[in-house]
Amino acid sequence: MAVSYNGLWKLLIDKNMNKTALMNEVGISSSTIAKMSKGECVSIAILEKLCDKLECDFGDIIHYEKGKDGHNHEKS
């Protein structure tokens, strides 16, 4: 898991919003929320919708955690 959405979950708490309300207000599916809960990648379009609705920036909701995905990305 190289992507963390902890910023999004914290922002939802701050805005007193749950995942179901987020799905309904942003227009995203439960499978997208499930992917995010597992730290999987979602499209930039989804991130744009989230940022627009929550009035934030990408960096407020998503964070890259280097080396967490189990792959070695160094060049030989």
* All domains of the chain in start order, with CATH: 3-64 (1.10.260.40)
**Structure confidence at residue 52 as a pLDDT band (50, 70, 90):** very high
pLDDT tens digit sequence for 4-13: 999 999 999 9
Q: Can you tell me which residue has the tokens 């799905």?
A: 23
pTM score of the predicted model: 0.81
Q: What is the pLDDT of residue 68?
A: 65
Beta bridge partners of 47: none
Cα distance between residue 68 and residue 4, in whole Å: 10
pLDDT tens digit sequence for 19-51: 999 999 999 999 999 999 999 999 999 999 999
Q: Can you tell me which residue has the tokens 């922002």?
A: 11
**How many Cβ atoms sit within 10 Å of the Cβ of residue 50?**
24
pLDDT at position 76 over 50: no
Residue type at position 69: D
